Amino acid sequence: MKKQGHPSYQEVLFVDTATGEKFVIGSALKPKEKEMYNGKEYPVCRVSISSASHPFFTGNTQLVDSEGRVDRFMKRYAAKKPVAQEVVKETTDKKKKK
């Protein structure tokens, strides 16, 4: 087996940003940030959703949106709605004048 062909495998600390839950898993990720956990220093990878916060695993039916994606989507398309209505209104006004 070639030694250069495989990534290095190490233990990485994953932190769920929604709940603060921490767990160590073996991974080939190489994050630069490090943190102490149970007396040992691990590289840290932050995740927005894990089994500790996902509604399927927790039994909650509410939406978990820690990064505000749904709010940004609603604001973006709520703002464009009046613009589209104005264009439609202008075209109907032009047709009526003819």
Domain co-membership, 55 together with 73: no
Domain co-membership, 17 together with 59: yes
Total number of domains constituting the chain: 2
Which H helix or E strand runs over 88? helix 69-97
pLDDT digits (tens, 9 = 90+) for 40-89: 999 999 988 887 777 666 666 665 566 677 777 878 887 655 555 666 66
pLDDT of 96 strictly over 80: no
Domain co-membership, 21 together with 53: yes
The number of angstroms, rounded, from the C-alpha of 87 to the middle of its chain's C-alpha atoms is: 35
Domain co-membership, 14 together with 61: yes
Give the domain extent around 92: 68-98
Structure tokens at 44: 């840290």
Is the sign of the CA dihedral 64, 68, 70, 74 positive or negative? positive
Domain co-membership, 55 together with 84: no
